[in-house]
């Protein structure tokens, strides 16, 4: 990563000397000979380190320090002055300067001071990032599943995490692809660096390119300052490219070049920047079909599909549903600060029998809703959405009144017969269990079963 430094001083010879000094040290250097010029540079470019003279011809350097801490709070600032003043030194430290150095200064001392300031700043940023991530819910321990299919996924994650290979995570929407990507990152040697994600299908091409690779000032309307992209921000870390199959053909070419060369070029820029990031891509689409239709480049597919991981839909690992339900009940009871919720046997059976087109995300949303709305300690079938009983997703097969009208009683009897037949099928023909699925008493179920002509066993 190239470190950027801004030097603010009204002495031209000192600016020239410090520019040469820090350029030899590998810094990207900008200079300003007045506070007005410094403000203009601060508006256009982010910096890692700022050296600022306290006495400026058009103002007080301490005032500029205050502005720097507002505009670029993560930049390390070292104040300089030819007039040794304990009061100024104390005030600059109170305002957030890393340190203070008096002119004339020893060159080696300044270099060491600059290095230490940057190390401290980078460490603080990394600690803030790690604390935020590790205190969140995206940890390996929160990926729930004891089924054979999920144990196979966990085993693959543990093996893959030790490498830096590119991974392609495939699975339906809501199966937890980003959770798996984060688990790989936090179990890897890159865990102390950043994990940054982006949905490739959610942004137009020009904005996506800027988000991935950054842009220079003036690259397009609204680009009032230089911006780093995800590849530079996540240097030595991981970039998660969600819904990569939605990327436009021209963006696929640019991404392929970045992956092959391990360099990026900012939008509007002409400098190649070296980056070291691990790529984890994800999709809910059939990428082989998109290759066949010309929507996905075959060479990009092979570049990202080094290690494939396929996540099973929830309907293929129903044995994990009770574990997930208990996990979400605990999580949302704590988050919503309510008494720890439990779930009834009939409600759990209903959850286990549903097809879950929205997978784990749909289950999570339903449990959150039940915990939030239920006034009782135990969640029952009445606290669950009606479509879990009918098996239809919300909004599908909406009922509309025909132009010629209908026989409502006959329609309701037909619907009752259909639901009772489905309940019996899910209950393996046991009427008592089917009655529970429909929230009916066994007496009522038996009565209507005879009336509509559905049969089953009376006892478990």
Residue 122 lies in a domain: yes
Residue 282: the pLDDT is 97
Omega before 104 cis (within 30°)? yes
Residue 258: the pLDDT is 95
Question: What's CA 401's distance to the chain center, in Å?
Answer: 44
Residue 380: the pLDDT is 92
Q: 363-366: list long-range contacts, CB under 8 Å, 24+ apart.
A: 363/314, 363/321, 363/324, 363/325, 363/328, 364/324, 364/328
Domain termination residue (choose one: 276, 293, 312) = 312
Place of tokens 């025909």: 402
Domain termination residue (choose one: 346, 363, 390) = 390
Are residues 415 and 379 both part of a single domain? no
Are residues 282 and 168 both part of a single domain? yes
Total structural domains within the chain:
4
Residue 206 lies in a domain: yes
Are residues 337 and 223 both part of a single domain? no
Residue 408: the pLDDT is 78
Residue 138: the pLDDT is 47
Residue 161 lies in a domain: yes
Residue 397 lies in a domain: no
Are residues 303 and 183 both part of a single domain? yes
**Residue range 129-147, pLDDT digits in tens:** 655 555 444 455 557 888 9
Residue 142: the pLDDT is 59
Whether pTM > 0.75 for this model: the answer is no
Strand, helix or coil for residue 423: helix
Place of tokens 């339900």: 325
Are residues 9 and 108 both part of a single domain? yes
Are residues 302 and 374 both part of a single domain? no
CATH, residue 69: 3.40.50.2300
Are residues 349 and 372 both part of a single domain? yes
CATH, residue 289: 3.40.50.300
State the DSSP code for 82: S
Alpha-carbon distances, residue 412 vs 241, 398, 415, 416, 434 (angstroms): 48, 15, 5, 6, 18
Residue 145 lies in a domain: no
Assigned token pair, 95: 């305002």
Are residues 176 and 85 both part of a single domain? no
Cα dihedral angle (224, 229, 230, 231), rounded to 10 degrees?
-170
Residue 137 lies in a domain: no
Q: Across 237-386, where does the E strand assignment appear? A: 238-242, 263-265, 272-274, 278-283, 307-310, 342-343, 378-379
Q: Across 186-277, where does the E strand assignment appear? A: 195-199, 214-215, 227-228, 238-242, 263-265, 272-274
Q: Across 154-210, where does the E strand assignment appear? A: 167-170, 195-199
Domain termination residue (choose one: 258, 286, 312) = 312
- The rounded distance, in Å, linking the Cα atoms of 49 and 45 is 12
Show the low-confidence residues of the chain (pLDDT under 70). Answer: 1, 83-86, 126-142, 390-403, 452-460
Contact 177, 188 (CB under 8 A): no
Residue 412: the pLDDT is 78
Are residues 184 and 297 both part of a single domain? yes
Length of the chain: 460
Are residues 336 and 307 both part of a single domain? no
Are residues 91 and 200 both part of a single domain? no
**Domain limits at 84?**
4-131
Residue 141 lies in a domain: no
Residue 425: the pLDDT is 78
Are residues 187 and 262 both part of a single domain? yes
Residue 438 lies in a domain: yes
């Amino acid at each position: 990563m190239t470190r950027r430094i801004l030097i603010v001083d009204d002495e031209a010879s000192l600016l020239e000397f410090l520019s040469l000094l820090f350029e030899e040290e590998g810094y990207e250097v900008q200079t300003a000979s007045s506070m007005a010029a410094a403000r203009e540079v601060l508006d256009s470019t982010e910096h890692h380190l700022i050296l600022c003279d306290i006495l400026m011809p058009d103002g007080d350097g301490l005032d500029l320090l205050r502005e720097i801490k507002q505009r670029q709070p993560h930049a390390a600032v070292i104040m300089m002055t030819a007039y040794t003043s304990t009061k100024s030194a104390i005030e600059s430290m109170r305002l957030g300067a890393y340190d203070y150095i008096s002119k004339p200064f020893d060159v080696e001392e300044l270099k060491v001071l600059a290095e230490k300031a940057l190390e401290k700043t980078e460490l603080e940023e990394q600690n803030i990032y790690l604390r935020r991530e590790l205190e969140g819910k995206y940890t390996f321990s929160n990926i729930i599943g004891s089924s054979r299919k999920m144990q196979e996924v966990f085993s693959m994650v543990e093996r893959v995490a030790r490498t830096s290979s590119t991974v392609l995570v495939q699975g339906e929407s809501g199966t937890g692809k980003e959770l798996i990507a984060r688990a790989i990152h936090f179990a890897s040697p890159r865990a102390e660096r950043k994990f940054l994600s982006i949905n490739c299908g959610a942004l137009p091409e020009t904005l996506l390119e800027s988000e991935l690779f950054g842009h220079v000032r003036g690259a397009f309307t609204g680009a009032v300052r230089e911006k780093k992209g995800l590849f530079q921000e996540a240097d030595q870390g991981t970039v998660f490219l969600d819904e990569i199959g939605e990327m436009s053909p021209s963006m696929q070419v640019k991404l392929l070049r970045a992956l092959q060369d391990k360099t990026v070029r900012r939008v509007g820029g002409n400098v190649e920047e070296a980056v070291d990031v691990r790529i984890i891509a994800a999709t809910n689409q059939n990428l082989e079909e998109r290759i066949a239709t010309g929507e996905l480049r075959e060479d990009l597919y092979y570049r990202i599909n080094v290690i494939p991981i396929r996540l099973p839909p929830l309907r293929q690992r129903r044995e994990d549903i009770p574990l997930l339900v208990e996990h979400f009940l605990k999580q949302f009871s704590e988050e919503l600060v309510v008494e720890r919720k439990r779930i009834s046997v009939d409600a759990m059976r209903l959850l286990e029998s549903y097809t879950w087109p929205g997978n784990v995300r749909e289950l999570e949303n339903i449990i959150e809703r039940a915990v939030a709305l239920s006034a009782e300690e135990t969640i029952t079938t009445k606290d669950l959405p009606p479509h879990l009983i009918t098996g239809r997703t919300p909004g599908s097969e909406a009922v509309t009144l025909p132009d010629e009208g209908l026989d409502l009683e006959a329609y309701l009897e037909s619907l009752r017969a259909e639901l009772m037949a489905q309940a019996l099928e899910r209950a393996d023909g046991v009427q008592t269990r089917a009655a529970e699925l429909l929230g009916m008493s066994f007496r009522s179920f038996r009565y209507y079963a005879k009336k509509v002509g559905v049969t089953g066993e009376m006892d478990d």
